[in-house]
Structure 1
Amino acid sequence: MIGLLKRAIAHFARNTGRGTSLYKRLCKPDGFEWAHFLVRWRSLHSIGENVWINVGCNITDPSLVRLGNNVGLSDCTLIGHDASVALLNVRYGTKLDSVGPIDILDNVFIGHGAIILPRVKIGPNALVAAGAVVLRDVPPDVVVGGNPARVICTLETLLKNVEERCAEYPWIDLIRERNGEFDPVLESKLRVMRAEYFFGEKSNG
């Protein structure tokens, strides 16, 4: 009965654009499903192939956001306007507007809590670290982080560092054999192995 209700809610939301909160809370759409929903009902300017958007991602001005191929957005915020213009208009008697596009090119990942401000282009082949505040363009093939965001290293350096760490993990063969990024069958075994490796004891979870 619950499964039938969830399917009905998902169908209603995907076909009408309404009931969004219920859809997110009960149906828990994955990032790919949510991306397709946003394209259809939240007027993103355009979106490429294989785009993943977490349901916690906040996009304030969807029509000013363009996403390339293989883009992943975690619980980050994309802001297409600068509300401080309201203060300028009041203080100086002006009638100004302050908006701008956010252009995220191919093969980009934006981490949890990152904030992307207007008039920014990111990538291609770039990673924005968790918590970063991006005020200006991010060059290709780099990792940026901090507030304001700055280049931390190249993507090649990141790859080398992660590969070196992975070589030490006793579970890396399971990861290499895993089908996709997440396998619920392996997850409990991986959780135990990781806890024992990092803490020397089994997890209570």
Structure 2
Amino acid sequence: MKFYTKKQLKRLRIALIFESKKRTKYIVNHKIFHNVGSNFFFQPRFIPSDPELISFHDNVVVASNVTFITHDISHYMLNNLNNGVFQYNDGCIEVMNNVFIGANSTILPNIKIGSNVIIAAGSVVTKDIPDNSVVAGVPAKVIESFDEYLEKRKNIQWLPDENLWEKFNKEKKSN
């Protein structure tokens, strides 16, 4: 019979919580990460292997399937080449205030994400992100300021689904 550690059981429990709001509440109440500020929302179903190396400040939203990598295990391969001279390499990740991390993004170790930042879906963050930035791509690069993004979003109006299809079809016919 295999026995699981408390940490492993918590990770399993988190993966089994279907609703994102309930999952977020569990994460906050059980202090899974090093720090979690107010107005935190965590949609991924899986917790990084070293959550104690990740800190979230206030008003942070993490979309689905975001991966936080706090270490690399290349030393296993390198040690086979050089008689075990390479050490395990890990690092912290800090996410400041007012940050949205888009779906399927990857954040590498030793990264600080500044305040007022949008990370587009599918981005790979390999370097620190300055305050007031919108980044996208592989690797992630600044594509506009947070203020420019905010202005664009102010002009978007909500439409019912049928109106969205009408708008979509009209735009596609003109292209």
CA shift at 1:71, angstroms?
A: 0.3
**1:85 lines up with 2:75 in the alignment:** yes
Mapped partners of 1:33, 1:193: distance in 2? 32
Matched residue, 1:194:
164
Structure 1 residue ranges without an equivalent (≥5): 1-15, 167-171, 176-188, 201-205
Alpha-carbon spacing, 1:193–1:59, altered in 2? closer, same or farther (3 Å)? same
Counting only pairs closer than 5 Å after superposition, residues 9-158 of structure 1 correspond to structure 2 as 17=10, 20=13, 23-24=16-17, 28-30=18-20, 32-41=21-30, 43-56=32-45, 58-75=47-64, 76-93=66-83, 94-158=85-149
Alpha-carbon spacing, 1:114–1:57, altered in 2? closer, same or farther (3 Å)? farther
CA shift at 1:38, angstroms?
A: 2.2
Mapped partners of 1:151, 1:40: distance in 2? 34
CA shift at 1:98, angstroms?
A: 0.2
More helix by share: 1
Q: CA RMSD in A?
A: 2.3
Alpha-carbon spacing, 1:48–1:98, altered in 2? closer, same or farther (3 Å)? same
CA shift at 1:20, angstroms?
A: 2.2
Structure 2 residue ranges without an equivalent (≥5): 1-8, 171-175
Aligned letter for 1:80? Answer: T
Aligned letter for 1:20? Answer: R
Tell me, yes or no, if the aligned pair for 1:23 and 1:29 is still in contact at 8 Å: no
With normalisation by structure 2, the TM-score equals 0.81
With normalisation by structure 1, the TM-score equals 0.70
Matched residue, 2:3:
none
Alpha-carbon spacing, 1:106–1:57, altered in 2? closer, same or farther (3 Å)? farther
Percent identity of paired positions between Structure 1 and Structure 2: 30
CA shift at 1:40, angstroms?
A: 4.1
Tell me, yes or no, if the aligned pair for 2:90 and 2:109 is still in contact at 8 Å: yes
Task: Name segments (4+ residues, structure 1) moved above 6 Å.
Answer: none
Alpha-carbon spacing, 1:42–1:161, altered in 2? closer, same or farther (3 Å)? same
Mapped partners of 1:23, 1:113: distance in 2? 19
**1:161 lines up with 2:152 in the alignment:** yes
Mapped partners of 1:42, 1:88: distance in 2? 34
**Greater relative CO, 1 or 2 (CA 8 Å, sep 6+):** 2
Aligned residues: 160
Q: Which has the larger radius of gyration?
A: 1
Deviations 1:57-87 (A, max 9, x none): 5523211100011000012110100111222
